[in-house]
C-alpha cells in the first residue's frame, strides 16, 4: 500500500448517523425558535404578574374625583343656608330689642295716665287763682316728661271716627259736626312711640 492510501481518513458510518441526529431540528420548530426558546423561558419567569382588575383600586381612583365637586356644592349650599338663617336671626333680635326699648315703659305710662286724669279733674274745679296756677304748672311739667318719653295724645274732637284709635261709647245727634265725626271726648287716648296704649273714649255723630 502506498503512502497516500494510508493518509486517507476512513469515517465510521455509526458516528455520522449520531452526528446528524444531534443537529437535526425538533419537528414543528424551526432552528431559530429552538435556539431562542431558553431565553423566552427566562424572560417569562422574570415578568411580574399584571394587576388584578377585580381589586377595585382603579375604580375608586376614577370615582373619587367625581365625588369631590358634589361634596363642595353641598358644603356651599349649607354655608349659604346657615348665613341666611343667621342674618334673619340678627334682624329679628334687633327688632325685638328695639321694641323692648320703645315699649318698656308702657306699664308705668298707663299708671301715670290716671294721675293726669286726676289733674284735669282738679283743674276743672273752681279754686283760688294761686291754686289753679300751681296745678297747671305741675300738669304741664308732668306732660312734658311724658312727651319726652314718647307719649302723645290722640286727636279726637272733630276728627273722623277711627276704630283703631277711638272707642265709641255713645252716639248723638248734633248739627255742630257731620255724621261719623267725633263730637265729644269723654276720656283722652294716648300713643307711646306710635303704638296705641289707650284709645280715646268718644261720642260719635250718627
Does 181 score more than 50 pLDDT?
A: yes
Q: Within a 10 A sphere around the Cβ of 187, how many other Cβ atoms?
A: 15
| pLDDT tens per residue, range 14-65 | 566 556 656 555 544 444 444 444 444 444 444 554 555 455 555 455 555 5
Pairing outcome for strands 200-205 and 166-172:
parallel
pLDDT > 90 in the chain, percent: 30
| pLDDT tens per residue, range 59-99 | 455 555 556 666 777 788 888 999 999 999 999 989 888 87
The whole-number pLDDT of residue 88 equals: 92
The whole-number pLDDT of residue 167 equals: 96
Sign of CA dihedral 54, 55, 61, 67: positive
> Where do the DSSP E strands lie in the chain?
151-153, 166-172, 182-187, 190-192, 195-198, 200-205
For residue 170, what are the β-bridge partners? 203
For residue 178, give the C-alpha cell: 257731620
Does 2 score more than 60 pLDDT?
A: no
As a whole number, the mean pLDDT across the chain is 76
d(CA 66, CA 131): 91
What does DSSP assign to residue 165?
Answer: T
d(CA 202, CA 186): 5
Amino acid at each position: 500500500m502506498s503512502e497516500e492510501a494510508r493518509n486517507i481518513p476512513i469515517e465510521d458510518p455509526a458516528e455520522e448517523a449520531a452526528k446528524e441526529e444531534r443537529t437535526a431540528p425538533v419537528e414543528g420548530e424551526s432552528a431559530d425558535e429552538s435556539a431562542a426558546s431558553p431565553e423566552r423561558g427566562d424572560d417569562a419567569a422574570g415578568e411580574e404578574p399584571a394587576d388584578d382588575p377585580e381589586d377595585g383600586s382603579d375604580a375608586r381612583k376614577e370615582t373619587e374625583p367625581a365625588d369631590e365637586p358634589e361634596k363642595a356644592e353641598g358644603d356651599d349650599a349649607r354655608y349659604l343656608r346657615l348665613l341666611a338663617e343667621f342674618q334673619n336671626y340678627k334682624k329679628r333680635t334687633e327688632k325685638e330689642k328695639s321694641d323692648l326699648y320703645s315699649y318698656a315703659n308702657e306699664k308705668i305710662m298707663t299708671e301715670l295716665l290716671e294721675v293726669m286724669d286726676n289733674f284735669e279733674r282738679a283743674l276743672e274745679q273752681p279754686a283760688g287763682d294761686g291754686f289753679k296756677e300751681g296745678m297747671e304748672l305741675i300738669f304741664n311739667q308732668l306732660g312734658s316728661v311724658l312727651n319726652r318719653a314718647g307719649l302723645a295724645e290722640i286727636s279726637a274732637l272733630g276728627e273722623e271716627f277711627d276704630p283703631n284709635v277711638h272707642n265709641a261709647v255713645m252716639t248723638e245727634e248734633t248739627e255742630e259736626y257731620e255724621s261719623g265725626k267725633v263730637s265729644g271726648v269723654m276720656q283722652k287716648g294716648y300713643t307711646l312711640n306710635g303704638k296705641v296704649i289707650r284709645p280715646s273714649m268718644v261720642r260719635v255723630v250718627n
